[in-house]
Structure 1
């Protein structure tokens, strides 16, 4: 094999123990992906909505009913990129469209695309590191004006745009122009507002709205209902500071400081000014004002009165939570009926809807149509996808093996950031079409979206109860058992794919995307139906994809051709064996399917053991020694062989002990460098009947999340096997 790095760079020559290797791999990953929360931004419902396909619905004919044929409308936004990339985009055209990225035209519709709005056109455009400005030019015709534009990869790049104007800095969404009689010669860019007097949607109140009271202009007249305004006060000086507020309000008002009432009053709908004095200790404190609507003018205003102009203010008002695009220091929630008013302690949080039943809502800002929404903008931390499921499982188990909560807490915190927002993301999707967090969990449409991460979630939930985990698990279980497509005999089955060629197929990967979760959900609920389903999946997949003369698996069975694809892809086979160990580990000894499944496990182990490479690593195409040495399948065979020996599933242990030790030595010498970087992990795959697709096109990536967790699990099982064999020697 071609070496991934110089031998002197190997971790095998640097680390003192297997435990140190685990710490290096897990520590490198954690250090590269710090624990950042979602970014909260102002979003305007008067702007363009993102649909479930994560494309913005830009119907300019609806926005400008008097638009004339031949007029131009421009839409402008900016998109951040962490580096230089080719980004996938998709557009459905209602009219002629041009798309300009950073001043260069990247797409122009043709005569066919202009008149078929239900069709999608895909293209890629180069983005630079930092902000990238995207302008769409639409020409009004008899067919319409506008289009649907956004990501060309829903699962991989669910992009969201930001407003490019200084007065809307940090707000999510696009701006659009008035109809133009002639095309613009120069497109707007950073700091350039193209000489327009006004961009839309509007983000300022009219004078009449501005004088009507904050709750009136945000919610309208809601007699008898109440609403809340939330801010924070920060005292940076030692001791207690007396501060004075001035303002006005209409109707009943209660002000709370850290949940305790500090002011109560009742004024007529045309009330005048009032004052309030508070004692503020050192630190940061929640200030919440609750008002009841008694007339058309409804609101509260509070202004913190500082000392003299020469003095530094001892207490400052600060936003209740960092929200990009917020123009003042207040957030608003309501309206609520008195009987359903939320508990104050449950209000001052940002991860869940506020209120109950049909009154559930979230925070808003004092701007037209302005809501607060979270957006996950981290490359890794806080994401929910299947490779991260196995990555976090490996880190979780590493913490347990090393007895170090640093690792277990990191994995559990990542998972809980997702599960704690499951309720919110479901609500957000119902309101806006596509959530800014948890997009794969919320919009489940495949086993990839739920099973892997769900299994890691349930494993973490054993260590500590994760907020929202059981609700998310219930949703996943329902999807797998009730919604996921199946053949008549119950075999999990793919009826659609990213391309037509991938439709009507069964992938051996899907044993991993389903059965570990079903096993762990069986453990959680005690319902044997989930365990039975997992067991039957292995036996049905064996009928379709097992290659008996080699005792290995096809990657895919394609019903369009009635056959397997004849390529034993390494990681696909690894998923099968890995997942079978997860099933056997929880299956009772008297389960009727256990003997047949145990025999299948032994058959597979024999087949895979014969194909181990000279350096201890297995290959990308298992039967092709000229394909590259692949780290993730190697790790899964190590994991399964070690468990097979430890649990007594393999009748002849010696060959598998040798395979485990050779495999782990191969990984640490040839696939893990001294800094804990993992090499040789195959990228996420499609499928083909052509072996060369797997060998030549499906290349490996550095530190790919498909492999890091599996490498850790292989190391853990190697350590456990050594301890097991040492104990058996006495």
Structure 2
């Protein structure tokens, strides 16, 4: 009996030690190694960044999915200024003449997403053609009174940072003021934010009476992750004295507080935040976006470290140990869509219709983890 009790205690101690080890912070070297690995996989797969993307149809590579990848690449470049990264991004922009998908006249947020990287590359080397089209497109929107273009929440991440960047670049607050008006239209007038749960319905299709199988509201993980990323990137680019800055800070804090208790025990978030049985399972992109927001919030003193660090560690270790293949491919990545059922099944080996935006989300999260390790 005594031997059996000692054996049980040893097993318990070994299990506790393994759990503790699994929730340790990674080293800076480990984080950088995984960023380099996953990014190298993608760059080798797409040696020509201007090559059209073919899935169910052919698209130019300045589409939103690829633009999100370049957000992540530029974040990596900020930590590791490898000329190959810079050249890859410049070649991408130049291959499209620094223009937007569907042309300068577009008002669509997805098409504006490429402008985030164009502007960042302009700030490195101020060649006017790098911002000519994106600024012209936003100015065209500003010449009208229409503010209800962003009728799906992904749009906030795609376009809000561009308006914030243009304000910082030009010193003209007209861009940030219009951004605020459009954001508030999405939030309040269109009513896509639910202040009772501090989460967003993806678009009007998912507002009540629409419900998940368990009867709860449908809050799509990646959709809410896009809003988290929108707040982070807007705050990064927006001047410190912007009168609406607190709105974005508060939104980030409210949302991350709301997703904290629905994190899975394994560190991931389900595709459906309030119905864990609706296409339950691990999912990388939404998890990476929440991790990005939490790590950035801690790094910038907007979130309590002692409250969020356990979730941050669990999320990082989940992605790092379970999503990343030996060759750098990211598993458990939901394909494009707008709700939990899209892009299913999501597994370790399943290949989404687009891989690029998932890598962008991971690189954004990983760069903040790298800083957090300090």
Q: Do both proteins adopt the same fold according to a TM-score greater than 0.5, normalized to the shorter chain?
A: yes
Judging changes above 3 Å, is the alpha-carbon distance between structure 1 residues 589 and 458 closer, same or farther for their aligned structure 2 residues?
closer
Name the SS for the 2:204 alignment partner: strand
The equivalent residue for 1:654 is: 306
What's the TM-score once normalised by structure 1's chain length?
A: 0.43
C-alpha distance in 1 between matches for 2:343 and 2:49 = 37
Q: 1:630 aligns with which of 276, 283, 289?
A: 283
C-alpha distance in 1 between matches for 2:170 and 2:49 = 33
Name the SS for the 1:681 alignment partner: coil
The equivalent residue for 1:492 is: 149
Q: 2:45 aligns with which of 23, 32, 48?
A: 32
Deviations 1:78-134 (A, max 9, x none): xxx98xx8x6xxxxxxxxxxxxxxxxxxxxxxxxxxxxxxxxxxxxxxxxxxxxxxx
Name the SS for the 1:440 alignment partner: coil
How many aligned positions are there? 337
The equivalent residue for 2:130 is: 469
The equivalent residue for 1:227 is: none
Judging changes above 3 Å, is the alpha-carbon distance between structure 1 residues 441 and 564 closer, same or farther for their aligned structure 2 residues?
farther
8 A Cα contact 1:577 1:604, kept in partner: yes
Residue 522 (1) aligns with residue 167 (2): yes
| 1:585 positional shift | 2.4
Query: What RMSD in Å do the two structures reach over aligned CA positions?
Result: 3.2
Q: 2:179 aligns with which of 488, 513, 534?
A: 534
Name the SS for the 1:441 alignment partner: coil
| Structure that is richer in strand per residue | 1
Q: 1:478 aligns with which of 115, 126, 139?
A: 139
The unaligned stretches of length 5 or more in structure 2 are 1-24, 212-216
Q: 1:554 aligns with which of 182, 201, 204?
A: 201
Judging changes above 3 Å, is the alpha-carbon distance between structure 1 residues 407 and 33 closer, same or farther for their aligned structure 2 residues?
same
Q: 1:157 aligns with which of 43, 53, 58?
A: 58
| 1:564 positional shift | 7.5
Judging changes above 3 Å, is the alpha-carbon distance between structure 1 residues 507 and 546 closer, same or farther for their aligned structure 2 residues?
same
Judging changes above 3 Å, is the alpha-carbon distance between structure 1 residues 38 and 588 closer, same or farther for their aligned structure 2 residues?
closer
What's the TM-score once normalised by structure 2's chain length?
A: 0.80
Residue 394 (1) aligns with residue 72 (2): yes
The equivalent residue for 1:701 is: 351
Residue 409 (1) aligns with residue 54 (2): no
| 1:492 positional shift | 2.9
| 1:721 positional shift | 1.3
The equivalent residue for 2:62 is: 384
Judging changes above 3 Å, is the alpha-carbon distance between structure 1 residues 667 and 534 closer, same or farther for their aligned structure 2 residues?
same
Residue 440 (1) aligns with residue 102 (2): yes
C-alpha distance in 2 between matches for 1:698 and 1:537 = 33
The equivalent residue for 2:192 is: 545
| 1:465 positional shift | 3.2
The equivalent residue for 1:269 is: none
8 A Cα contact 2:284 2:358, kept in partner: yes
Judging changes above 3 Å, is the alpha-carbon distance between structure 1 residues 536 and 629 closer, same or farther for their aligned structure 2 residues?
farther
Judging changes above 3 Å, is the alpha-carbon distance between structure 1 residues 477 and 37 closer, same or farther for their aligned structure 2 residues?
closer
C-alpha distance in 2 between matches for 1:419 and 1:456 = 14
Residue 601 (1) aligns with residue 285 (2): no
| Structure that is richer in helix per residue | 2
Judging changes above 3 Å, is the alpha-carbon distance between structure 1 residues 643 and 464 closer, same or farther for their aligned structure 2 residues?
same
The unaligned stretches of length 5 or more in structure 1 are 1-11, 40-80, 88-155, 159-375, 377-382, 423-437, 494-505, 724-730
| 1:455 positional shift | 1.1
Judging changes above 3 Å, is the alpha-carbon distance between structure 1 residues 16 and 596 closer, same or farther for their aligned structure 2 residues?
closer
The equivalent residue for 1:640 is: 293
1:269-288 matches, within 5 Å, as none
The equivalent residue for 2:115 is: 454
Of the two, which has the highest radius of gyration?
1
